[in-house]
Structure 1
């Protein structure tokens, strides 16, 4: 049986590559595994040899110690892989298929899954709706920053690429289908982005850049990306976005210089709970700053898409209220402007097949937009460090050298 190396969270600021068990079709105990899931049989699953698995900003929240993630948790919810084993209940997939795996684990059988709300499946996490690989309080499904990983309910969850050779040629684009491309796209769709829209995307990290590329794909007239990281703003400009430096003064004033008015049609929060303030307060954390800023600059009757992560438990927060996810929102402003808000995990399967087609038929270059870069699994600690330092890069782990072969 093959070995299995994986990336584990050890303590705030520290990840390391460790040896773990090769996956089986039964859930075993381990760091973060919900006790009610221990011993759960997975005849509907497949075991993947990982083709690519990405470092995500959501992983970084845990690594910074901003969640209750336990030491030893195997990280990684952005997974693309080749099937090497399948359970007896898997009917429509075969060994050798290359598939994209949505980060949200879904049974395909509960009420929410049948309503395409796969981000809040009712059956895969005993504690609450919604689950993901390698993530705190998400049921304890082992993460995919590893050489091999188990994917349950595979006929439902896995998106098969139609041509293996074509998939490997475009793997740096296709690897984004597991999370950030659908997540950015969902943020834009829920914000009402369409042909001729003006859009403000808060955050120029990978999800923000994916949202900006999605806004272009949806036909937006002007896409403005705001951040305080100059390298990331430069990356946004590289594919046709306007930019706002949130350290330079009020966002509305800068938007007015670009559009002739201080408001946009659609707002997207791609930052989440570790937001910093704007202007003179940009050096300190203000977890509600992005949401409040979006309400200020989104026109009356507009919508806010909020794919940025907010949590119910943040031990590193600066206030007692923020430690339990309570933020000082200007809800009165949003109410007065009749804003619509859409929060929560992206239901990846709602979008990933269509976005796959857009990639395969050269309608979008998402890897270029997010500045994807492949690194080895052993270089994961360096990738986490550089990402935390603000690198304008989407780090793609390459555990089994598929990307080099391509």
Structure 2
């Protein structure tokens, strides 16, 4: 039997590549696995040879020690792979298929799944609705930053690419379908972006860049991206966005007025989340900054898409409230302006097929927008360090050398 190597969270600030067990169609005990999930038989699942698996900003929260993730957790929820083994209950997915895996694990049977709310599936995480691979408090499903991984509920979840050769030619784009492209797109849709909209995106990390590109695809007239890191802002400008350097310009409204002639936008997207910083020189962490600022610059009656991650447990939070996800949000301002807020994980399956078509037709250029950068599995620890330092790259791990060859 083949071996298996994976990226492991070892301790705050450190990941390692280690040997792990080859997957089978049972959820075994291990770091982070919910005891009530141990031993779940997954004859409805498949084993994938991982073709690409990406480093996500959500992974970085765990690696920084900003969650309760246990040592030894196998990381990775952005997975694209080739099916090498099929469970006895799988009918439509076949050995050899090249597929994209939604990061939310969904059974297809519960009320939420039947209503297309696959991000809050009721049957995959004993603690609360919603689950994901390789993520803290999400049921303990083994992550996919590895050579091989087990994926349950294959017939329901997996997005099969229609032509393998074509898919491999576009793999740097298609690998984004497991998370950040649908997540950015969901942020834009949730914010009500439509033809002619003016849009502000807080954060120029990969999700923010994906949200900005998605806003363009939806017909926005102007997309403005704000961030503290100039390298990331340069990447946003590379595909036609306006930008605001929030380290140099703390007043977002004034900067928006210089661009649009008015100090407000139609729509805003929070692609930062709970590790937000205040604006200006020497600013410190202030977790409610983005939420409060986008309420301030979004027009009355506007919508706020919030794909940025917020957590219920943050050991590194700046105070006791922040450590449990309680933030000082100006809800009165949002109420007075009749804002609509949309939060939570992205229901990937709602969008991934359409976005696949946009990629295969050449309409969407998501790999270019997020600066997809392919690395080996052995280089993953260095990729984590570089990404944590603010590099404007979306690191794509290529465990078997299939992309590079």
TM-score normalised by structure 1 residue count? 0.99
Query: Which position in structure 1 is the counterpart of 2:38?
Result: 38
Query: Which position in structure 2 is the counterpart of 1:116?
Result: 116
Alpha-carbon distance between aligned partners in 2 of 1:137 and 1:293, rounded to the nearest angstrom: 30
Deviation at 1:249, TM superposition (A): 2.5
Alpha-carbon distance between aligned partners in 1 of 2:29 and 2:12, rounded to the nearest angstrom: 23
Deviation at 1:402, TM superposition (A): 1.2
Query: Which position in structure 1 is the counterpart of 2:21?
Result: 21
Alpha-carbon distance between aligned partners in 1 of 2:91 and 2:255, rounded to the nearest angstrom: 55
Deviation at 1:283, TM superposition (A): 2.6
Alpha-carbon distance between aligned partners in 1 of 2:353 and 2:54, rounded to the nearest angstrom: 19
Mapping of residues 76-115 of structure 1, within 5 Å: 76-115=76-115
CA deviation string 1:294-347 (max 9, x = no partner): 000000000000000000000001111000000000000000000000000000
* Count of residue pairs brought into register by the alignment: 404
Query: Which position in structure 2 is the counterpart of 1:318?
Result: 318
SS in 2 for 1:378: coil
Query: Which position in structure 2 is the counterpart of 1:237?
Result: 237
Query: Which position in structure 2 is the counterpart of 1:267?
Result: 268
SS in 2 for 1:6: strand
Q: CA RMSD in A?
A: 0.5
Deviation at 1:279, TM superposition (A): 2.2
Mapping of residues 380-391 of structure 1, within 5 Å: 380-391=380-391
Alpha-carbon distance between aligned partners in 1 of 2:402 and 2:131, rounded to the nearest angstrom: 28
Give yes or no for the alignment of 1:284 onto 2:284.
yes
SS in 2 for 1:344: coil
Query: Which position in structure 2 is the counterpart of 1:352?
Result: 352
SS in 1 for 2:378: helix
Deviation at 1:376, TM superposition (A): 0.1
SS in 2 for 1:404: coil
Query: Which position in structure 1 is the counterpart of 2:401?
Result: 401
Alpha-carbon distance between aligned partners in 2 of 1:205 and 1:107, rounded to the nearest angstrom: 30
SS in 1 for 2:219: coil
Deviation at 1:181, TM superposition (A): 0.2
Query: Which position in structure 2 is the counterpart of 1:220?
Result: 220
SS in 2 for 1:21: coil
Mapping of residues 174-253 of structure 1, within 5 Å: 174-247=174-247, 248-253=249-254
Alpha-carbon distance between aligned partners in 2 of 1:329 and 1:39, rounded to the nearest angstrom: 42
More displaced 10-residue stretch of structure 1: 282-291 or 130-139 = 282-291
Alpha-carbon distance between aligned partners in 2 of 1:195 and 1:148, rounded to the nearest angstrom: 42
CA deviation string 1:27-58 (max 9, x = no partner): 11000000011111000000000000000000
The runs of 5 or more residues in structure 2 that have no matched partner are none
SS in 2 for 1:327: coil
Alpha-carbon distance between aligned partners in 2 of 1:359 and 1:66, rounded to the nearest angstrom: 34
Give yes or no for the alignment of 1:51 onto 2:51.
yes
Alpha-carbon distance between aligned partners in 1 of 2:283 and 2:396, rounded to the nearest angstrom: 29
TM-score normalised by structure 2 residue count? 0.99
Query: Which position in structure 1 is the counterpart of 2:338?
Result: 338
Alpha-carbon distance between aligned partners in 2 of 1:249 and 1:95, rounded to the nearest angstrom: 54
Alpha-carbon distance between aligned partners in 1 of 2:21 and 2:77, rounded to the nearest angstrom: 18
Alpha-carbon distance between aligned partners in 1 of 2:110 and 2:98, rounded to the nearest angstrom: 26
Alpha-carbon distance between aligned partners in 2 of 1:332 and 1:127, rounded to the nearest angstrom: 32
Deviation at 1:404, TM superposition (A): 1.5
4+ aligned runs moved over 3 Å, structure 1: none
Alpha-carbon distance between aligned partners in 1 of 2:283 and 2:348, rounded to the nearest angstrom: 34
